[in-house]
Amino acid sequence: MQTHEIRQRFTQHFVNAGHTAVPSASLILDDPTLLFVNAGMVPFKPYFLGQQTPPFPGGTATSIQKCVRTLDIEEVGITTRHNTFFQMAGNFSFGQYFKEGAIKNAWSLLTNPLDEGGYGLDPERLWVTVFLDDDEAADIWEHTIGVPAERIQRMGMEDNFWSMGIPGPCGPCSEIYYDRGPEHGKDGGPIADDTRYLEIWNLVFMESIRGDGDKKGGFDIVGELPKKNIDTGMGVERVACILQGVDNVYETDLLRPVIDRAVEVTGARYNEGNADDDVRFRVIADHSRTAMMIILDGVTPSNEGRGYILRRLLRRIVRSARLLGASGEVLEEFMNTIMDTMTPSFPEIAENRERIVRVAVTEERAFMKTLVSGTHRFEEAAAATKSAGTSKLSGSQAFELHDTYGFPIDLTLEMAREAGLEVDMDAFDAEMQAQRARAKADNKAKKQGNIDESLYREWVDASPTEFVGYTELNHPGKVIGLIRGGERVGEVSQGQDVEVILDVTPMYAESGGQLGDRGRIVVGDTVLDVHDVQKVGKKLWVHKATVRDGGLDVGQLVTAEVDPTWRHGARQAHTATHLIHAALRQVLGPTAVQAGSMNKPGYLRFDFNYTEQLSDAQLREITTITNEAVDADLAVNTIETSLEEAKAMGAMALFGENYGSEVRVVEIGGPFSIELCGGTHVGHSSQIGPVAVLGESSVGSGARRIEAYAGMESFRYFSKEAALASSLAAELKTPTDELPARIAQLTERLRAAEKEIEALNRQQLVSQSAQYVAKAQQAGQFTLVALTLAEGIGAADLRTVAADVRERLGAVPGVVALASVSGEKVPFAVAVTTEGVGAGVKAGDLVKLLGGYVDGKGGGKPDLAQGSGSNPAGIDAGLAAVRDELTRR
């Protein structure tokens, strides 16, 4: 049974049982505790936490959620049942059925015959575990389902009790295991061997509230939940192993094709006795799928957060392929293969195929350059290790290669073996553990930042705000809530900051990149200045305001007034964002996909996934297309419709956004632009006014940003530019249209003059070389010139002088060490004669010695090296240290 069918059967089974089928959320949610969605229940967390009321008819739901877990990324492939990306099929009950219902639902799907929609598993091969004192679950399994008592095992907190790791809902679990047979391990159930007995389903009976403490049980149960909930998760990949008759998750229909392709690309063999190679093949398969799915949801490689995880995944693929024998680029092959296997379950892959390949290949090419620099650094470290008379590369050097150069440790180990060296893995592991501890502490700190929306729960459930701002700028409303300092209050007075909740408001709450409205709330002599509006639970508008005059009580009738100037500018900028997006896709093609935006009155920025810098010609074309759309006076229409109908219309959706069943489509000029958007817009494109594209820049690997002005801000910008051009024209006595040529001419003359001055200065410096040689002194067997030159001499000139003085020393064991102060930097250089190198002195070693005294670093060849520091006070001591080092030899 193919994985796609396994998914279909699961969903249909629970729909038939009355559950609402919920599409998988994006891997990226607005949750400060998570980089990626890592469990099927994550999108339902607000309902389990009691922050929102479940919107599902009957209070039950089912989903197949895409998940990513990367905590132990280095362990991938070593075991054959864990993936960084996996699909968690789950069913959820919010106060409806409990233990018996969850157990019956799971058992019937697993054991029902194929022709009845089940998976047809042999009940005799299924074992279950329950929490130590969960007699109720054990009784249901034995007397209601009919599982023999000897196949029901009890486990403790670590295995069979669930919580989110922070105070909140928790409860005992019951897990279902499949016996794969004696060839996979010893008899005795999951307690005896959890390799032979494969866990395929976890049923969480959420009934209690836990307090502070660690996840493994170091916490108290502080209460019971008002309603008992069910959260279950079936591992799609693990069930696929069983139903497809394969040994592990890498042999299923989704991942084995990638391994087969890797065999073709690398020439190595899989599963033929080389355990290290087998791990590399599994890393390629696992990471290719995870990276592809992460890119699909809008992430691009970077050096932090989600982008850093993606970068690690892609680089581990490349590294593994190279260790298997690949010499060229590989990611395009692997991405195309995994997209072929995954598209039946995720059709949206097809329309993003080109973009996914582009992001992956761009990162691969960047990593190839990193490999060059990392290899150079390794060769330096290896040479230094051998010259020190040891055969073990230090752990700190290996960690520097890993952390600074992105050099994987197993590639370092491979190269070390080729060089006849070992690696101090104990020290390397200590460095890695310290880094993980820092990351874990940071992650724990982030978990404490989970926003508590329970304060707003009553209003979210009972009195969601009615937004009338698409057609109204002033509207009466009733104050249904006041919050001050994180607490509900009944009244506020002059000078106080407050969050005001109204039953009806014309003020737009920040979303979709558009900032919240500014304005006032007034009643009689009372005036509150509203400086921001935010949404809670996607239903409640919270007005952040300051009481300017008077006071306000809960229950009062007030009038909310949007600042019309603010709204007009916001409409212009937001609508201009749509036009720029459409223009981008015309110029760059469909792979230029929006990755975020921000707009406020008169200004917008637009982020998009693209791997290359835009040319001036492309920017001009984007600007022209945008302003032609403004000039065409295109009608801006809004359509309320279903999500399915909107997609059928061709409306574009944003990555990371979760849309309800009913959506708002903004259409500009028919096919010119059609997007899902809840923002405010002008009625016709001409109302935007001119759009001035300021430029574009990089905001990370594979992500670019365009910034622009709209309306009066564009006019002011153009006026300022025109005034500047007129001023330059007058100053240079040149017509405005000839300014570019005139400025280019002057710039070229200036560059030529600067080069001439540099050459003269260098000649003057070199002419003083004889004076420097005259100051030579003896340091042991070496002739040494160690001087601090005049202030302002840069690194390039210092290197030139050092090389010239070295030549003037003649055929003697000689060393030249020079330093200077240039601005805030301390450049320094060391040159060694041929005879000096022959006597065992290396310029690079002396540069490092000198750099330690001036808070700098450096490197180079044995006969010439240089560096730069920041502490001029250490120059004399550094030069003295060079002299002492030579004297000791």
**Residue carrying structure tokens 């959320």:** 25
DSSP string, 349-362: HHHTHHHHHHHHHH
| Ramachandran angles phi, psi of 810, nearest 5° | 85, -160
d(CA 787, CA 769): 11
Q: How many CA atoms lie within 13 A of 76 on its CB side?
A: 28
Q: Is 120 exposed, middle or buried (0-12, 13-18, 19+ CB in 10 A)?
A: middle
Which of 100, 98, 88 minimizes the C-alpha distance to 11? Answer: 88
**Range list of H helices, 129-227:** 135-139, 157-160
d(CA 849, CA 867): 11
SS3 419: coil
Binding-site residue set: 574, 578, 677, 681
Total residue length of the chain: 889
**Residue carrying structure tokens 């280019």:** 744
Q: What does the block give as tokens for 678?
A: 């809840």
Which of 431, 428, 357 minimizes the C-alpha distance to 394? Answer: 428
Which of 368, 302, 362 minimizes the C-alpha distance to 332? Answer: 362
d(CA 841, CA 862): 8
What residue type is assigned to position 20 of the chain? Answer: T
d(CA 547, CA 492): 8
d(CA 141, CA 889): 81
Host H or E run for residue 68: strand 60-68
Q: What does the block give as tokens for 226?
A: 């008002």
Binding-site residue set for Zn(2+): 574, 578, 677, 681
Q: What share of the chain is helix, strand, coil (3-state, %, to 5)?
A: 45, 25, 30
What angle is formed at CA 147 by the lines to CA 146 and CA 153, rounded to 5 degrees?
145
**Residue carrying structure tokens 């390629």:** 284
| Ramachandran angles phi, psi of 453, nearest 5° | -95, 5
d(CA 409, CA 422): 12
Do the beta carbons of residue 508 and residue 480 sit within 8 Å? Answer: no
Q: What does the block give as tokens for 503?
A: 């039953």
Q: What does the block give as tokens for 661?
A: 């069943």
Which of 212, 205, 197, 251 minimizes the C-alpha distance to 80? Answer: 251
CA dihedral sign, ordered 116, 122, 124, 129: negative
Q: What does the block give as tokens for 187?
A: 């008899």
Q: What does the block give as tokens for 293?
A: 């799915």
Do the beta carbons of residue 505 and residue 468 sit within 8 Å? Answer: yes
In DSSP terms, 596 is beta-bridged to 607
SS3 832: strand
SS3 448: coil
SS3 27: coil
Buried-exposed string 362-391: b where 16+ CB fall within 10 A, e elsewhere: bbbebbeeebeebeebbeebbebbeeeeee
Task: Return the axis-axis angle of helices 256-266 and 331-342, rounded to nearest 10°.
Answer: 160
